[in-house]
Structure formats: structure tokens, C-alpha cells
Amino acid sequence: MRVTFWGTRGSIPAPMNAEEFRRKARRLIAGAASVDLADPGALNDYMDGAGCDAATFGGNTPCVEVTGENSRLILDCGSGLRELGSRIMEDDSAPRRIDILQTHTHWDHIMGFPFFGPALSGGYDIHIHGVHPGLRGRFASQMDRVHFPITLEDLRSDVTFHQLRSGEEIMLGPFRIGNRGLHHPGGSHAYRVTLGGRSMVFATDGEYPDRSDSALAPYAEFCRDADLLVFDAMYATLEETIERQHYGHSTAVIGVDIALRAGVKNLALFHHAPESDDRRIVQSLDRAREYHASIRERFSGHGLRILAAYDGQAVEV
């Protein structure tokens, strides 16, 4: 199974502005004073070691693609869906059926759908699955000519909406799918995707006000032995989760707590806050790794790999 991140921000797209780019450029130029810029190898080595100053986590809102056995599954329709749609249309061998799992329908998780090329162009069979009632109406409301010039009825590809039951397990092609409700305003659902004995859990937009073992146990059980957990780590610290209680988001420390209890192999921090620049995201990642190092012996030294998801990243599961 291959997991590709097309959008990793939360709440609203957060593209890098000119001043942020200039700050990065100044640091890169200053650090390259002793580098032979005429040597491609030396330049590549320098860039590889420059960390977040030589890259960016990106600014698109949630969209994750899972592929395997010549099948594709999309998780959420954030603004990252536009670029994914373009890639799908460039691939003549891509399956014409597209299945989408929708965690919930807040703007940042559906805003990419009106720009989804396969829906606009025709020739694709698109199926959107979600637990929330009235899923079609929720998508139609952002495409009602008041908010967008093209309606659902104007789309050239067939789009079918499917109502899921909370907690049920289904098959979509070769993928086995389970879901679990999360604490979030309006409700959100995590999905567990299994293929060929490998599993990934997509658990964005969830709040965990009680960190006790008993309170976290149901979430840990849902993630049990997953190869990858994609987790809402919007807030940089636990203090922020307290200050913004009831906003429905979490932090990396809680993701580590759940991952260790569940025996997860890889934890991807996700749904980065729009106000977090690249350096702040790296700082959150460093704190999560330090926290893991401080408590892992309580879990028999469980080896957990922690990463911060970025737009364009691909992870083999």
C-alpha cells in the first residue's frame, strides 16, 4: 500500500508568502558561504542537510491517496484534491472508478471537490462515501451558483453518494474499510484502511480531552497494530488544546500516547495549523520525538517512527 499526501494543512489553505520565502532564501544563502555551488554533488548535499529551509510542508488542506493492487482510494476532498485530480487525468492507465472516503464536511475537507478534474471532465465513475447524513446536499451547498459557478448537476462524470453506518466495515475493491467516530464539532470519523495484511488509520479532526488509559483505550484499539497512523496534530502543545477546547483538534503528544498503546509502527503528524510555518512544524515534530523517547520504556521500548506529513510526500506501508 502506498500513501500519498496531497494536502496536510487544516482549517484553510496556507501557501507560503513572499516574505516567508525570502527568509528561507536568506538562511540558505548565508549557510552556503563555504559550499562550492558549481559542484552539483556538493550543492545537493548542502540542500539535503538544510532541513525545512530547503523545502516546505505545503499549504493545501486535507487530501490523502491510498493506492495498491491497481486500485485507488481518496481520503477527504481538501484543496489538495485539485492537484491529485490533475495527476489522475495524466495517467491513461488509471482506473476510471474513483472512491472517496469523507471524514466530515467542514469546508477545509470538501473545498477541493469543485476543482476536481475527473469530475469536471467526464469519463469517470466517482463514489463518495461518508457517515454523515445528507452527504450529497452538503457537497451541493458549496456548488449552488451562489458560492460556485458550477453545480453538481453540471459535472460531466457520474458522482454517487453512499451513506455509511457508524462502526460498520465495508469492502471497496481490494480495500477493507472500518470507521470510528471522533470528538469534533459536527462529528468526524476516522477510517482504517487494510490491504494485503497492511493497515493505515486516518484519524484527523479529533479532540481527546481525557488522556486517561480508559478514555484512550477505544481509540488505541481501533489503531491496534496499524502500520501507519495519520493523526491530527494541529496544535503545537497540550496547552493550546486546553486554550482551544471544543475546537475539535489535537496535538502530537496525544498521537504518541495512542500510537504507543496501539503498537503503531509509523505516526504521521497531520492537519498542521495554518499559522504554523515550516520551522514551527519541525519544532512540534522534535517535541513529539523527545516525548516518545521519554516514555517508550513504559511500552517495552516500542519502536515508533514519527514524521510530519507534507504535501507531495509518499509513504510505503
What pLDDT sits at residue 89? 97
> Is residue 8 predicted with pLDDT exceeding 90?
yes
Query: Per-residue pLDDT tens for 39-50?
Result: 999 999 999 999
Beta strand pairing call for 158-163 and 169-172: unpaired
The residue type of 68 is G
> Over 90: is that where the pLDDT of 238 sits?
no
What is the pLDDT, as a whole number, of residue 12? 98
pLDDT computed for residue 296 by the predictor: 86
Query: pLDDT digits over 155-185, tens only?
Result: 999 999 999 999 999 999 999 999 999 999 9
Name the band, by pLDDT with cuts 50, 70 and 90, for residue 242. Answer: confident
What's the whole-number mean pLDDT along residues 248-257?
96
The answer, yes or no, to whether residue 88 has pLDDT greater than 70, is yes
Q: Give me the residue label for grid cell 516525548.
A: 291
Residues 63-73 have pLDDT tens digits of 999 999 999 99
Tell me the residue ranges of DSSP E strands in the chain: 2-7, 63-68, 71-75, 97-102, 125-130, 158-163, 169-172, 175-182, 188-195, 198-203, 228-232, 266-270, 305-308, 314-316
- Alpha carbon distance 227, 265 (integer Å): 5
Mean pLDDT of 243-252: 90
Q: Given this model, what pLDDT does residue 19 score?
A: 95
> Above 70 in pLDDT, residue 101?
yes
- Note whether 62 and 80 are within 8 A (CB): yes
Residue 298 has pLDDT above 90, yes or no: no
CA distances from 147 to 129, 139, 142 (A): 23, 11, 6
Q: Give the closest residue to 220 by CA, choosing from 250, 164, 269, 180.
A: 180
Query: pLDDT value at position 193?
Result: 98
> Which three cell numbers mark 50?
538544510
**Mean pLDDT for all residues in the chain:** 95
Q: Hey, what's the torsion of the CAs at 21, 26, 29, 31, to 10 degrees?
A: -110
Q: What is the pLDDT of residues 195-222, one digit of tens each?
A: 999 999 999 999 999 999 999 999 999 9
Give the Cα separation of 74 and 43 in Å (integer).
Answer: 36
pLDDT value, residue 301: 60
Model confidence pLDDT, tens digit, residues 108-127: 999 999 999 999 999 999 99
Cα–Cα dist 276/88, whole Å: 30
Chain centre to alpha carbon of residue 13: 13
Which H helix or E strand runs over 290? helix 278-295
